[in-house]
Amino acid sequence: MTITKDMTIEDVVNQYPESMMVFMKHGLHCVGCHVSAFESIEDGANSHGINVDALVDDLNKVTLTRKSSAHSCDNSCSCCSSKS
């Protein structure tokens, strides 16, 4: 999934808990705030004077890191073979 600036902060954090550190690094500390449930990344960034494009780029690096470290095998392991 690609993170976009119109997604809510809460949706991103729920899908990628490790994204909290990215939000914090950029100065968007409202990841646990009630507003994060309905505030888009863009709205949050704009209200805090944060470059939304740089934030979204860094958030998407989190998704790429997760994808590259995802489990892969020949489907013979117990976790993959049970999905068949």
Residue 63 is predicted with a pLDDT of 85
CATH number given to 9-68: 1.10.3910.10
Q: Are 64 and 6 in contact (CB under 8 A)?
A: no
Q: Where are the domains of the chain?
A: 9-68
Q: Are 62 and 18 in contact (CB under 8 A)?
A: yes
Q: What is the pLDDT of residues 24-78, one digit of tens each?
A: 999 998 777 888 899 999 999 999 999 999 999 999 998 888 766 654 555 555 4
What would the two tokens of residue 3 be?
A: 């993170």
- Say if pTM beats, i.e. exceeds, 0.85: no
- pLDDT confidence of residue 83: 47
Tokens 């690094």 belong to: 25
Confidence of residue 84 (pLDDT cuts 50, 70, 90): very low
